[in-house]
Amino acid sequence: MSASGVNKVVLAYSGGLDTSIILKWLEDEYQCEVVAFTADIGQGEEVEPARAKAEAAGIKEIYVEDLTEEFVRDYVFPMFRANTVYEGAYLLGTSIARPLIAKRLVEIANETGADAIAHGATGKGNDQVRFELGAYALKPDVKIIAPWREWDLLSREKLMAYAETHGIPVELKRGGKKSPYSMDANLLHISYEGYDLEDPWTEPGEEMWRWTVSPEQAPDQPTYIELTYEQGDITAIDGEPMSPATVLRTLNRIGGENGIGRDDIVENRYVGMKSRGCYETPGGTIMLKAHRAMESLTLDREAAHLKDELMPRYADMVYNGYWWSPEREMLQAAIDQTQKVVNGVVRLKLYKGNVMVVGRKSSSDSLFDESIATFEDDAGAYDQKDAGGFIKLNALRLRVAAKRKSSTR
């Protein structure tokens, strides 16, 4: 047993500067063995180089895993069944990836006999909360090491000096051009924070965006797509069946080409501070619009309205890290029950940053009855005289209150 009480720790390892430093720091500070875990959740960069870096650092147990299908199937799709949006704008791209990573950290700790898990989230952000709430929910006695809350390497200069002292290679990504922003990417989105975005009045430069063209540069002709839904999830695009991850990749590409999915947000972090961030979520923006259109045709009015009332609570649970909580699981069960009838096809028109619903149909679950809704002769399908009694009954309390007011004047 090491002096720290930790013999082995599983580190969420990207291969970048921060986690490479954390890897060495854990070995030195805790005198323990480190297991490196790298998750491919569609961040758009090769993850295999992380394996080579970990091997070069002397790590014996290395996990590099493609989790893209699980990520979309078991996390993104269930979240979009709820039409989830945080504070009216954020589609929760970073938030929804954390419970999956936490789950695999715990599973690998169990598989390898590790005493602890570690992550590279800072003490100012939401991710520390999300990782740790998830881990504790799945392994109550797990020890969690958060270096940013322990060490004194609290500036870029100190990190670089530590890397130089310990021979940790520092590489510039993307052809030598390193972004000045703090970025997080997965198959659902890419986020940008820091640098000039720390001034909420500053408009981000066009060169910052990576997935989307500007609406001004998008094609002058609209793109039409048709999305097939089965129980609330997209299963085909333009009639071609696709896996969940392929659906999202395809929508990201089509949406990005049409300038869709850019957001500039000041949000309330769970730890108490406000933070300005920019996000690209082209596929998710399309999915949200299309799913609501499919529900508009197939969901009962009161079920749809109740879902809308519950959605902000659900969004808070995802944003704040309570994916594995009983309340989120309870809400998910209710949401999934409503989705049994969300089947059909939605046709969308994509044009210069806009997503427009131009058609929706459902052969078996549509609640739209043209014979009742028509402005033409409905052949008695709806008796308009019934509306008079309906209105009077609903007006009864208003009339009573109005009489009371007039009698007291």
pLDDT one-digit tens code per residue, 43-59? 988 898 999 999 999 99
Active-site option among 81, 98, 104, 360: 98
Question: Across all residues in the chain, what is the average pLDDT?
Answer: 94
pTM: 0.94
pLDDT of residue 155: 83
**Assigned CATH topology for domain 8-165:** Rossmann fold (3.40.50)
pLDDT band at 2 (very low <50, low <70, confident <90, very high): low
Please report which residue ranges of 75-155 form alpha helices under DSSP H: 77-81, 98-112, 127-138
Do 191 and 94 touch, CB atoms closer than 8 A? Answer: yes
pLDDT at 103 over 50: yes
Rounded alpha-carbon distances, angstroms, from residue 146 to 17, 116, 129: 16, 11, 11
215-219 LR contacts (CB < 8 Å, sep 24+):
215/259, 215/352, 215/353, 215/354, 216/259, 216/352, 217/259, 218/257, 218/258, 218/259, 218/351, 218/352, 218/353, 219/257, 219/258, 219/352
Q: Which residues contact 167 (CB under 8 A, 6 or more apart)?
A: none
| CA distance linking residue 78 with residue 99, whole number of Å | 13
Question: pLDDT of 190-222, one tens digit each?
Answer: 999 999 999 999 999 999 999 999 999 999 999
Is residue 18 annotated as a catalytic residue, yes or no?
Answer: yes
- Bridge partners, residue 356, by sequence: 349
- Bridge partners, residue 117, by sequence: 10, 144
Question: What would the mean pLDDT of 162-185 be, rounded to a whole number?
Answer: 76
Active-site option among 127, 276, 360, 362: 127
Question: What would the mean pLDDT of 104-112 be, rounded to a whole number?
Answer: 98
Question: What would the mean pLDDT of 94-122 be, rounded to a whole number?
Answer: 97
Question: What would the mean pLDDT of 146-170 be, rounded to a whole number?
Answer: 90
| Three-class DSSP category at 196 | helix
pLDDT at 173 over 50: no
pLDDT at 70 over 70: yes
Active-site option among 4, 179, 182, 296: 182
Is residue 156 annotated as a catalytic residue, yes or no?
Answer: no
pLDDT of residue 46: 82
Is residue 296 annotated as a catalytic residue, yes or no?
Answer: no
| Residue listed under structure tokens 């999305």 | 227
| CA distance linking residue 247 with residue 347, whole number of Å | 15
pLDDT band at 174 (very low <50, low <70, confident <90, very high): very low
Is residue 98 annotated as a catalytic residue, yes or no?
Answer: yes
| CA distance linking residue 188 with residue 251, whole number of Å | 10
Active-site option among 18, 184, 336, 365: 18
Question: pLDDT of 350-394, one tens digit each?
Answer: 999 999 999 999 999 999 988 888 888 888 888 899 999 999 999
Strand order of the β-sheet with 33-40 is 62-66, 33-40, 8-12, 116-118, 143-145
| CA distance linking residue 252 with residue 285, whole number of Å | 9
- Domain regions of the chain by residue span: 8-165, 182-299+342-361, 370-404
Nearest alpha carbon to residue 332 among 232, 245, 244:
232
CATH of 182-299+342-361, one of 3.60.20.10, 3.90.1260.10, 3.60.40.10, 1.10.645.10: 3.90.1260.10
Do 248 and 92 touch, CB atoms closer than 8 A? Answer: no
Provide the Cα torsion 36, 194, 45, 61; round to 10°. Answer: 0
Estimate to the nearest angstrom the gap between the alpha carbon of 235 and the chain centroid.
19
Question: What would the mean pLDDT of 255-272 be, rounded to a whole number?
Answer: 97
Estimate to the nearest angstrom the gap between the alpha carbon of 368 and the chain centroid.
32
